[in-house]
Amino acid sequence: SPPIDPLRSSATAITEQMASTWAKVPMAPADPILGVAVAYAADPSPKKVNLGIGAYRNAEGKPIVLKCIREAEKKIAGDETMMKEYLPIQGLDGFLKVTSQVIFGKDSPALKEDRVAVVQSLSGTGALRIAGEFIAMSKPGSTVYISDPSWGNHHQIFRRSGLQTKTYRYLSPTMGLDITGMLQDLSAAPKGSTFVLHTVAHNPTGVDPTQEQWKQIADVCQEREAILVFDTAYQGYASGDLNRDAWSVRYFCNERGMELMVTQSYSKNFGLYGERIGALNVACSDKGAATKVLSQLKAIVRPMYSNPQLHGARLVSTVLADQRLNALWEEELTAMAKQITDMRGALVSSLAEIKCPPPNSKFSSWKHVTDQIGMFAYTGLSKKQCDVLTDKHHIYCTKNGRFSMAGVNPGNVRYIAEAMKDAITASARL
């Protein structure tokens, strides 16, 4: 027999040891939202409809790049002075100067007094993770209160940051805001707790507080001395009006003078899904506090990903710094928001025309769909009803009945309505 190679035997033993170690790693559960996209992509049916992922589609059901972005890209490409060097830890200076103005307003006292610490982030998810790490470092005993329901990633982000999460009541059985339950739960939270609030177009419900209700929420937040995190994914995309959609943040910060954190994502309102561009703003009591907070945010970013991406920040800052491109962006925002609103109305009209019953006995109509705002409609459909939509009609949505209204268009709205009727009547027979 050939002689044994000791080096080969040693390498084999090491490989087997590593394989054995990694073999014990459990399989992670599939993401409930991104998993919908995977299932949709694998379906060969020509009738398939994707109502899962929150990404804008035009009236023909196609993804688009905004005209303002196309023009900004040409402007950037033609500027030979622009290099591809590393950004500072906090991000692109031109971007940082304008992003806080978008959410707080150019006349914000917090900005004029230079008491907002801001860092560029990997979209809204990255901003939330930085916020979570900062809270865990500076207020380690703070429990994070998240609406029930909320975006599926909220709990995971804060738990991965080492924080405990709990929920507060948010939605009534008939898809309205349970303001009484919300205020009771927030009032019962220990002082110094962290409250995660959706700035506009609550995900997944599309149900937002009124301005008067926001004032009540602010009273409770102030009394509880809460750490506030406003998650902002849909500014301008919800109503088509950037200022209107920022009302809650500006009321808390500019009118009430409250310290707060605000995350920003430019995925939806600029259509920059793959560029992963966003920001975390921390409005502080004074400039000195903001300077120290910024130093800590940078200390979190450095070992996490060192510094942020360049191209998305250049695109956003180029549009916002150019009066013509900024006006074009706002026009496109208005058009996108209008299409979503129009499709809500079209879906409810189609359901009425075919005499589709409401999802269950708690509802008298489908009016809750048009009462909601933003990208998502929280339909009230059950898991069984959603399973019928997918298994029989090739319509993909999350199992809690959340529809991305961006996936509804004039060419498929009737098909979706008829499938909903079939799902509801079929489940009633089970």
Catalytic residue among 151, 178, 185, 245: 151
Catalytic residue among 178, 208, 231, 245: 231
Here the tokens at position 216 are 């009540």
Q: What DSSP element (H or E) covers 41?
A: helix 34-42
CB atoms within 10 A of CB 19: 9
CA distance linking residue 423 with residue 403, whole number of Å: 15
* Residue 197 Cα to chain centre, angstroms: 12
Judge contact between 325 and 332, C-beta under 8 A: no
Torsion of CA 123, 124, 125, 129, to 10 degrees: 110
Helix (H, G, I), strand (E, B) or coil at 169: strand
Q: Tell me whether residue 214 is one of the annotated catalytic residues.
A: no
Q: Tell me whether residue 241 is one of the annotated catalytic residues.
A: no
Exposed/middle/buried for 249, CB within 10 Å: 0-12, 13-18, 19+? buried
Judge contact between 285 and 291, C-beta under 8 A: no
DSSP state, residue 289: H
Q: Tell me whether residue 151 is one of the annotated catalytic residues.
A: yes
Q: What DSSP element (H or E) covers 282?
A: strand 277-283
- Residue positions counted in the chain: 430
Instruction: Provide φ and ψ at 365, rounded to 5°.
Output: -165, -170
Residue that is written with structure tokens 């301008």 in the block? 236
Looking only at the bridges linking them, the beta strands covering 116-122 and 277-283 are antiparallel
CA distance linking residue 393 with residue 388, whole number of Å: 7
In the chain, count H helices and then E strands.
Answer: 18, 11
DSSP state, residue 233: S
CB atoms within 10 A of CB 289: 15
Catalytic residue among 185, 208, 268, 366: 268
Here the tokens at position 410 are 């004039």
DSSP state letters, 349-410: HHHHHTTPPPSSTT-SSSHHHHH--SSEEE----HHHHHHHHHHH-EE--TT-EEEGGG--T
Q: Which residues are catalytic?
A: 151, 231, 268
